[in-house]
Amino acid sequence: MSDNLDSDLTGFQLELPYELGRYRLEAEIGRGGMGIVYHAEDTMLDRPVAVKVLLPQLAADSQFVQRFKREAQMAARLEHPNIVTVHDVGQVEGLVYFVMRLVTGKPLDRLMEEGLPWSRAETIAVQVAEAMAYAHEHHVIHRDIKPENVIVSREGIVTITDFGLARPEQQAGGPTQAGVILGTPGYMAPEQALGKDVDHRADIYAFGVMLFELISGDLPYDGETAFSIINQHISAPIPDVRQLKPNTPPWLAELVERTLAKNPEDRPRSMSEVSETLRSQQGSEIEKAAAAKAGEEDVSAQGLVRRIRAGEMSLAAALQKHPDVSQTLQEVFRREMTVISFDLAGSTQLKQSSGGTIAIGPVFNAYREMVDQALAAHNCEDAVWAGDGTVALFNLPSDAVLAAQDILRNLRDINARFPDTPDLGVRIGIHTGSILRDPNQALGQVTSTVLDQTGHLQKDARPGLVEVSQVTLDKLPSQEGWIRIRAARDSNLAVFAWHPDGPDQVPQSWIQRIRYGRGEEEAEAKGEAKSEARAKRPVAAAKDKPAKPEEEALHCPYCEGEVTVRDQKCPHCERLNRHYDPAIAEKGKRKRAATTTTTTTRRPRPSTMATRSTLVERAGDPRRTTAVGSRTTSQRSGSGGRPSQQQAAGPDVLSEMIIGIIIGSVLVCFGAWVFKDNFATFWWVDRGAKVQTSMVALLVLAAIDIGVGYSMRLTQPAMAFGVFIGLPVAMAILRYLKWWT
């Protein structure tokens, strides 16, 4: 029984944070009859997820674990805007878990406790019914439908969670242990409570219980123990919801009674039938009689919805004239959609370089035809062309992504068909969100933040890639082949890219072209630890120019330590740095020009360029003050400032200095050997009593050494300093060899 599971669950506790494979469990979200749900971080894809860890009592049964994994993988194939996406299922150190998309919002049971008017409840009921109808069409039954497993976002979008008990409808039996009834007693169908095989009609019964509760605020059956509640579901008569809510419409009371029938044969044939009944009546209100009087305009929510759908009134006008029902209208006409925005890259130059629009016309016509076919093949709901660009709406994120991928692949065929014209390139951006739209309004006239954000994704996209927001990626059945490349310009959303030839084909320079600013966005989401890390970040006293990419403060996605685009590995955890840019790193090794107006403390970097810098003060002062080595400009001028830890000589500086000493000494000694053996008259000078070394030859060698060191002063100051020191070392060697007398 569930009571037994709950008692065992009370003592089950993980010490957080807890590493569960690639997932880092950070906080507990809630507890259920089978396990605990945690807020976690996917360290591989660097994104938040929800992880449900099963009760160890159930995980100890190998047969149950095997069935559960198979069924979780089956549930992961479900893709619907109102069904949570299952990403992964696994077992680590005896803990069985599955991973879901992290859904933000409130559980339906909490909303009901706060007070939920029917104007909102009916919209929620419609979305739940449509999602369950979709699952049943794909032969999946949930077996644990209840308000706790329904999450409602701020926009009113419903998400059904916890498919842990789901199984294929054709499969007899299920992952059940002897003496354990899986499910929630208050929402359990009679045949499920009796341990019989169940089909989709058990979900219809559970939905009827939830519908009864949405209308009246109470469960149809209640008791002190789970056994008494289950017994009432099996044998007690069906209560009339109108006894608790007298103004319930007859059609709704009849629907509740049919869904709660004891015999599965007496219930509605499918959830599609239930959803159609609710959808056809959507807009009516129980709490107040808003029906229009005879001869007067029908201003009830139901009447306004009917008129808007018939085209007699626009949604905008209804919202403006009837603010009392605006919330109901928004919930009825707001839908979660996935938007594609794509446009040809450089089409204007292409037309000019190819002899005008007429000459390039066949290529564009082939492109448009290919795009229209791809959109139609993947269930595009609506699309509009604007010049060479297109905006398209999809119900499912996977359909949108598949259409974009097909367009990118087929574009190669079009370029091959027209070898005499320049190749076409397309920018593609995809985003998912809720859109409020009048059903009679053309897509080109719709104003929506989601459409604007998708357009920005497309404008910032690179030709040859499919770029999607993290919201869209989280709703896909699989994330294989995607790589994070940047952050969206007008939000904290991460942007991921897909390349037809694989993620390895995405150039590294494309990944780093827009910096993330991860410190700010993650500090808000993860608490005080990251807020303190952001507060400790040094800020320049004055900036005449925006920060260069190599100077931007970035953070390791694994340990949150500071890194730069020059670090191939994180200096703190030694993992590969996802921000690493080889082009900038190589450029930094060759040359670094650091110009500031004041002496600024810089954050430490593993490169020697940060520890030994050249600071040039140029602001309105003709004099040039240079600090070499570990001293700052203020120390050079005698201001008495303390040495900076960032500029203290480290092992890399010392090694460069030693190399410079070797170069300088070898250079001078080699030059002396050349002069002595090949130009003896130039090297030796007869002083009468004895032969001495020519001072002119020594000066020539010194000039060569100084010239080599001077040429290194900007790019490798430590080595240049060593070359200078190498001159007296070489002179000592020459004296020891008696080449200098």
C-beta atoms surrounding 115 within 10 Å: 8
Strand (E) positions, 416-546?
Answer: 426-436, 466-469, 482-487, 494-498
* 3-class DSSP assignment, residue 167: strand
Based on the fold, state whether residues 468 and 552 are members of the same structural domain: no
Q: Quick one: 243 and 96 in the same domain?
A: no
- pLDDT of 631 reads 37
Structure tokens at 336: 């979660």
Predicted pLDDT of residue 206: 92
Strands of 63-137, DSSP E: 86-92, 95-101, 106-107
**Which residues 6+ apart lie within 8 Å of 534 measured at CB?**
519, 520, 523
Continuous H helices in 194-225: 200-216
Claim to verify: residue 349 and residue 483 sit in the same structural domain = yes
Identify the bridge partners of residue 97 per DSSP, sorted by sequence position: 53, 90
Per-residue pLDDT, 546: 52
- 228 CB-near residues (< 8 Å, 6+ apart): none
The label of the residue with tokens 């952001």 reads 534
The domain containing residue 28 runs over which residues?
2-101
Encode pLDDT of 195-225 as tens digits. 887 888 999 999 999 999 998 888 999 888 8
Does residue 311 sit within a domain?
Answer: no
| CATH for 65 | 3.30.200.20
Give the pLDDT confidence score for residue 93 in this predicted structure: 81
208 and 118 together in one domain = yes
Residues 6+ apart with CB under 8 A from 129: 207, 271, 274, 275, 278
Residue 307 counted as domain residue: no
pLDDT at 517: 37
Give the C-alpha separation, 205 to 238, whole Å. Answer: 12
**CA 70 to chain CA mean position, Å:** 27
Among 490, 514, 538, residue at a domain's last position: 514
**What are the residues whose beta carbons fall under 8 Å from the beta carbon of 741, sequence distance 6 or more?**
690, 691, 692, 693
321-358 confidence digits (pLDDT tens): 888 778 778 877 888 889 999 888 866 666 655 555 55
Residue 148 lies in a domain: yes
Q: Say which DSSP state 293 is in.
A: P
How many C-beta neighbours within 10 Å does residue 579 have?
21
Inside any domain, residue 585: yes
Q: Do residue 139 and residue 239 come from a single domain?
A: yes
Which pLDDT score, from 0 to 100, does residue 524 have? 41
Average pLDDT, consecutive stretches of 10 residues, N- to C-terminus, the chain (741 residues)? 44 82 88 79 84 79 71 73 83 83 87 82 89 88 86 85 61 44 79 83 92 90 86 89 87 91 90 88 52 52 76 85 80 86 75 56 84 89 86 90 91 85 87 88 85 89 90 82 82 84 78 42 43 50 51 67 76 68 61 42 41 36 38 38 41 81 88 83 72 82 87 80 88 84 75
Tell me what pLDDT residue 205 has: 93
Query: Is the CB of residue 728 less than 8 Å from the CB of residue 668?
Result: no
- Name the residue among 567, 587, 571 with its Cα closest to residue 579: 567
Is 339 in the same domain as 416? yes
- Of the candidates 613, 648, 683, which is a domain's last residue? 648
Nearest to 506 by CA among 495, 517, 516: 495
For helices 528-535 and 518-526, give the axis angle rounded to 10 degrees. Answer: 150
pTM of this prediction? 0.51
Domain check: are 444 and 358 in the same one? yes
| Rounded Cα distance, 725 and 665, in Å | 8
Which one of 42, 144, 203, 705 is the catalytic residue?
Answer: 144
Same domain membership, residue 683 and residue 631: no
CA 617 to chain CA centroid, nearest Å: 43
Q: CA separation (Å) from 244 to 219, 240, 278, 615?
A: 11, 8, 20, 80
pLDDT mean across residues, the chain:
75
Contacts of 372 (CB under 8 A, 6+ apart): 383
Q: Is the domain of 81 the same as that of 94?
A: yes
Domain for residue 285, yes or no?
Answer: no
In a domain, 288, yes or no: no
199 is catalytic: no
> Do 390 and 269 lie in a common domain?
no
CATH number of the domain where residue 244 is located: 1.10.510.10
The pLDDT value recorded for residue 363 is: 81
Count of domains for the chain: 6
Provide the 10 A C-beta neighbour count for residue 361.
12
Q: Is residue 286 part of a domain?
A: no
Give domain status of residue 597, yes or no.
yes
Whether residues 549 and 638 share a domain: the answer is no
In whole angstroms, what is the distance from residue 208 CA to residue 251 CA?
14
The predicted structure's pLDDT at residue 10: 54
Q: Which of 81, 101, 121 is the last residue of a domain?
A: 101
Q: Are residues 91 and 206 in the same domain?
A: no
